[in-house]
Structure 1
């Protein structure tokens, strides 16, 4: 296995993923499946709330490596990735990854027949954009496997905006503006921190963004419920137990699919204080 690893690591960053006829090679396939098993073992033993950061990062690195070398459908490599990003406080990357795969899902012809799929890349997408069309719409089915992570990213943004709003209300007239700006910076995650206009927005601008994000969250909640009617009841009634079981297969809209996606996402939600309570208010 070490030889295969060295050969794969030696490939350039823009290398096209392994063609189907190559991935069938026994040694390469064995290497990839071994990496996947290692990642899965880490997730299984350390996916509990507050699990070691190193285990989360190592698991994510394995999945990203295998996604790079093996883009073909069939192993479900990508589904745990957004939640792992979130657990590492890399919310922008979680959103970018989710949006990229939402675009692929919407353009099935491109996904299945375009050999240049690896060139599709989303970076620094607008996390404040409407989810309509990708994760929330009037149609019955969406690919909710990524919508769950997107919902959490939006929730974390909402919490940051509310923290900013509270800081403005509490400290205006008490501290100089530059001190209030420093306080704001300490209250937010990387998504808001990287957007100075949002971070330093007026109380009216912040209130407007809060209203927008709340509507988006309601839309996402409804779309996920339509896509898989089992997910939110399972999430709210028995999430810790359900997250410990992971079905080996599932079909869209099934209880097995709900359990699978919950297993991948629950720790990220539980590690975000207040997130589950917000969902209770929407249900």
Structure 2
């Protein structure tokens, strides 16, 4: 039986009331149409709808938590994205009463987006969440490298500090990177190295979680056109890959610099393969130590796009010789 006013008495439990499901499905269908508009305004409206639908149904029976993170990244709401994923990945696993207690639901705020990503090392990894945070980490890495290059260009110029700050701010895309403008070159280099390691870890985790994703990343649109959108999927399956492509691919291609950075790493890895060059033993050992996803039997593995992440640091350092 439907309560007299479910919007007041049953907030958080809508899916458990059968007569509310058509309403929730209708809002979901509206968001599908808003996605087709593909404007920032339509994406912002989608986020508002999804946020409110999660408020009405905390248990998220419609899988909104898989869709929302990359939409937030498209709007440069990077901190909100990180907090959202961090809550689902960590807090929802330890909190016991969040389904009943609205105050503890999605209660993570201002989490450190530069922190280590070891908490993604899970047997049953949520690929949508891992891919969204990997995109965010690459976005932050691009910003750090842009700031370093900007400092190089500005070196020796006797400009007012406010002009220099404006130039540096114009070189970054994430609001989270604004606080990096005051860092020294040494601090930026250290942060870049940390982000590279984090990207490599997440790259390894996602390769392990779904063999198909990075192997087919560059042809994502073709695969979606050929196969359509599956109605369901299992972990590690081709269908899961297609669904994650559908949710995340626009954000990858709309985020300035990230695809270009992946292209650098991918082409470098391809060059190593063509030259039949193996990673030096010491570098292999260090990579396996810092990245559990790259086990001894996986180093040098091409399948699954794993080598792109393995060679990322070397690729970027090689590029630095010409830019920095």
* TM-score above 0.5, yes or no: yes
Question: Which whole-Å CA distance do the structure 1 matches of 2:11 and 2:128 have between them?
Answer: 26
Q: CA deviation at 1:19?
A: 5.8
Does the 8 A contact of 2:15 with 2:21 survive in 1?
no
Q: Which structure is larger by alpha-carbon Rg, 1 or 2?
A: 2
Q: Which residue of 1 aligns with 2:87?
A: 100
Q: Which residue of 1 aligns with 2:298?
A: none
Q: Which residue of 1 aligns with 2:221?
A: 240
Q: Pick which of 52-61 and 254-263 moved more.
A: 52-61
Pairwise mapping of residues 1-283 of structure 1 onto structure 2 (< 5 A)?
8=7, 11=8, 16-18=11-13, 21=16, 23-24=17-18, 26=19, 28-43=20-35, 45-46=36-37, 51-104=38-91, 106-107=93-94, 110=96, 115-116=100-101, 119-120=104-105, 121-133=107-119, 135=120, 137=121, 140-176=123-159, 178=161, 179-188=163-172, 189-193=174-178, 195=179, 198-236=180-218, 238-244=219-225, 245-280=228-263, 281=265, 282=308
TM-score (norm 1): 0.82
Against the structure 1 CA distance between its residues 140 and 119, is the aligned structure 2 distance closer, same or farther, given a 3 Å change threshold?
A: closer
Question: Which whole-Å CA distance do the structure 2 matches of 1:176 and 1:143 have between them?
Answer: 48
Helix, strand or coil at the partner of 1:80: helix
Helix, strand or coil at the partner of 2:63: coil
Q: CA deviation at 1:95?
A: 1.0
Helix, strand or coil at the partner of 2:110: coil
Does the 8 A contact of 1:243 with 1:259 survive in 2?
yes
Against the structure 1 CA distance between its residues 83 and 117, is the aligned structure 2 distance closer, same or farther, given a 3 Å change threshold?
A: same
Question: Which whole-Å CA distance do the structure 1 matches of 2:232 and 2:141 have between them?
Answer: 34
Q: CA deviation at 1:7?
A: 7.0
- Unpaired runs of 5+ in structure 2? 266-307, 310-324
Against the structure 1 CA distance between its residues 209 and 274, is the aligned structure 2 distance closer, same or farther, given a 3 Å change threshold?
A: same
Against the structure 1 CA distance between its residues 20 and 33, is the aligned structure 2 distance closer, same or farther, given a 3 Å change threshold?
A: closer
Q: CA deviation at 1:65?
A: 1.0
Question: Which whole-Å CA distance do the structure 1 matches of 2:45 and 2:99 have between them?
Answer: 31
Q: CA deviation at 1:74?
A: 2.5
Helix, strand or coil at the partner of 1:79: helix
Aligned residues: 258
Q: CA deviation at 1:110?
A: 3.5
Does the 8 A contact of 2:76 with 2:175 survive in 1?
yes
Does the 8 A contact of 1:140 with 1:226 survive in 2?
no
Q: CA deviation at 1:91?
A: 1.1
Does the 8 A contact of 2:212 with 2:238 survive in 1?
yes
Against the structure 1 CA distance between its residues 257 and 125, is the aligned structure 2 distance closer, same or farther, given a 3 Å change threshold?
A: same
- Unpaired runs of 5+ in structure 1? none
Does the 8 A contact of 1:92 with 1:191 survive in 2?
yes
